[in-house]
A and B are shown apart, each in its own frame.
Chain A
């Protein structure tokens, strides 16, 4: 499959997966709230395609279903974890915001905005010590860009020369607050520059750009052993969480990057790929639903 079509196939699968999760949530099958990643697929797939676990490790935010899938985590186990099912990655101890498939290179997602970024620095330190060419990547949103944990880690990664890729997915919103309002100095890339990080911009609507920038920047981190920073512009196509009363979104412009990619590739090429993705996502989520909820006995012997 040619690279852009492959990018579309994987992205379409993540999109379909999230929409099936949304259906399950609506039907009351999710214990709490879910934060869907719709809109960020091209960026996440393009980058994760160049990262290979367990040598490479990725950490993500509360909005990380797609990252776990893009790193190759078993889709049924991811769905089961989100749905609180016994076959979940962590047998439903973690849930939607605490996914982990480190064997696939998805180290952990996080319920605390920005907290995943210093953890990725630790994975980068391990990779540096292992000296086998591994790197780590921390994905975070513009909301996290103002967290001390993120800013501190940008400094630390430069000071200690860690092979760490910072991926700022700027969707213009932190929950319902706009970046323009929340960020002193609207240019978040300039901040990274000021720490001495190599920086790049990625257009999350342009599949070819995502693929090219991903190759350049991961190549840089891998060969130099130094940190780098990407600002990826992505839309957020759904609410902060699914089902949110999100009137504010009416004022937030958001085109669908998958539709943009279909325009490039042509509907004819995409239709069957999309149908396959839809079927695979449907199967993963329905298999997870059929597992039944994780029973209390699974708590078993708890550590410490």
Chain B
């Protein structure tokens, strides 16, 4: 039995299932119930992901907080250390700048510093991604930066089934997991099995098969790469498109096996051009799979600047299907 759901709806359903099954799960964030202190109706979260949770599970388990990321992310850390299973929502990943200590030094290090005597079953859900005119402080893609922190697991779903399934695995993990949800994908529909089966952390998936070039991408730009792969297939260029889904721990084996076959690697990523996730993948594959490569690995990212605001500026800044096709054509022509 499967049904078609959007990513937002799949995540919402996963929350309902998880909270029903596990009373320790506590959802914490800003405006996730909404209307706190007023008599109005519930907002259910800015993107609708937490809709209906407050009404069904009560406000002791679905907690609207003051706008105070350090305090409530830290509260999530402490709650995870003492027996609860918090899912904390940080409305935009840009806001992680406000509470980074609690992620970088507290959540990420507690298991290690306690020699694994303390578990950190903390899930932080946040959003990422440009393309909707939100400007430089509501559009970043900080998945690579977070994945660079030892102790964190970082996932970026791009389908409804992966979003729900990764949330389930995140809740079950004894490590802190940060899930970045691309704002542009909440409305994307896809088939989801009724039980919302867990998707393992650390396992990627092949989105499109081909033998000419391996393309690695997550989240929003994965969708652009899918389009590019379909168009290139019509011209006889076979793209092996890999969605790692988890940034750390990375499914290097899957990417390496693909590169062994295609002998070319392109990473397409919305994160920074310098020191970003694209660089991590290029490094991982170059160091362990150099002998398979017939051409230098390449990356497509936005320029290394903040996200611009104006429609035309933002569109020019953000890579898309055409940018990806141009880069692949270039790589195929050269080698």
Q: Which residues of A does B touch, CB under 8 Å? A: 57, 59, 89-91, 93-94, 98, 100, 102, 107-108, 110-112, 115, 117-130, 136, 148-149, 152-153, 155-156, 159-160, 302-304
Cβ–Cβ contact B114 & A156, under 8 A: no
Can you sample 9 A-B contacts with CB below 8 Å?
A107-B78, A110-B106, A111-B105, A118-B72, A118-B75, A123-B79, A125-B79, A155-B68, A304-B249
Write out the residue numbers on chain B whose beta carbons fall within 8 Å of the beta carbon of A302. Answer: 112
Query: Most chain-B CB neighbours within 10 Å: which of A121, A125, A127?
Result: A125
In whole angstroms, how far apart are the Cα atoms of A122 and B110 in the complex? 14
Contact B74 A115 (CB under 8 A): yes
CA distance A153 to B114 in the complex (A): 24
Which DSSP category, helix, strand, loop or mixed, fits chain B's interface?
Answer: mixed
Beta-carbon nearest neighbor of B105 in chain A: A112
- Which chain B positions have C-beta within 8 A of A107? 78, 81-82
- Which residue of A59, A90, A98, A112 contacts B78 across the interface (Cβ within 8 Å)? A59
CB atoms of B79 and A153 under 8 A apart? no
Docked CA distance A148–B102 (Å): 12
Contact B66 A155 (CB under 8 A): yes
Q: How far is the CA of A152 from the CA of B67 in the complex (A)?
A: 9
Query: Is A156's CB under 8 angstroms from B66's CB?
Result: yes
Task: Encode contact with A along B282-322: 1 for CB under 8 Å, 0 otherwise.
Answer: 00000000000000000000000000000000000000000
Chain A residues with CB below 8 A from B152, complex form? 304
**Complex: A107 Cα to B117 Cα, angstroms:** 11
Residue from B75, B84, B113 within 8 A of A121 (CB atoms): B75
CB of B275 closer than 8 Å to a CB of A: no
Residue among A110, A118, A303 facing the most chain B CB atoms (10 A cut-off): A118
CB neighbours of A124 from chain B (8 A): 78
Contacts of B115 in A (CB 8 A): 89-91, 93-94
Is A126 a contact of B63 with CB atoms below 8 Å?
A: no
Residues of A within 8 A of B139 (CB): none
Given A108-B110, A303-B175, A126 and B84 contact (CB-CB distance below 8 Å): yes
With CB as the reference atom, state the residue of chain A lying closest to B84. Answer: A126
B130 within 8 A of A: no
Q: Are A129 and B60 in contact (CB under 8 A)?
A: yes
Instruction: Check A118/B102 contact, CB under 8 A, given A125-B26, A129-B60, A303-B175.
Output: yes
Instruction: Give, as a whole number of angstroms, the nearest-CB distance from A59 to chain B.
Output: 7
Chain A-chain B contacts (Cβ-Cβ < 8 Å), number: 141
Residue picked from B72, B73, B86, most chain A C-beta under 10 Å: B72
Chain B residues bordering chain A, tally (CB within 8 A):
44
A152: chain B residues at CB < 8 Å are 66, 68, 70-71
Interface flags for B136-152 (1: CB within 8 Å of A; 0: not) read 00000000000000111
A119 and B74 within 8 A (CB)? yes
Do A118 and B117 have beta carbons less than 8 Å apart? no
User: Of B70, B114, B249, which is within 8 A of A90 by CB?
Assistant: B114
- Cβ contacts under 8 Å, A111 to chain B: 105
Give the chain B neighbours of A130 by CB distance below 8 A. Answer: 83
Chain A residues near B70 (CB-CB < 8 A): 118, 148-149, 152
Chain A: which residue is nearest B109 at the CB level? A98
Q: List residues 43-95 of chain B with CB under 8 A from any CB of chain A.
A: 60, 63, 65-66, 68, 70-84, 86
Given A94-B113, A304-B150, is A102 in contact with B81 using a C-beta cutoff of 8 Å?
yes
Does B111 interact with chain A (Cβ within 8 Å)? yes
Q: Are A156 and B81 CB-contacts (below 8 A) given A119-B106, A129-B60, A303-B112?
A: no
A303 vs B248: C-alpha distance when bound (angstroms): 12
| Contact indicator A115/B101 (Cβ below 8 Å) | yes
Complex: how many Å from CA A120 to CA B75? 7
**Within the complex, which residue of B66, B68, B71, B118 is in contact with A100, where a contact is CB–CB below 8 Å?**
B118
Partner of B74, one of A89, A91, A98, A117: A117
Q: How far is the CA of A303 from the CA of B81 in the complex (A)?
A: 16
Q: Is the CB of B71 within 8 A of A156?
A: yes
The reply to whether A153 and B74 form a contact with Cβ atoms under 8 Å apart is yes
Q: CB-nearest residue of chain B relative to A304? A: B175
Q: A117-B74, A119-B74, A121-B75 are in contact. Are A156 and B65 (CB under 8 A)?
A: yes
Taking a contact as CB atoms under 8 Å apart, the answer to whether A155 and B71 are in contact is: yes
How distant is A134 from chain B, measured CB to nearest CB, in Å?
9
Top 9 A-B pairs, shortest CB-CB distance: A122-B78, A118-B74, A119-B78, A152-B71, A122-B79, A126-B82, A90-B115, A94-B113, A156-B71
Q: Is B162 an interface residue (CB 8 A)?
A: no
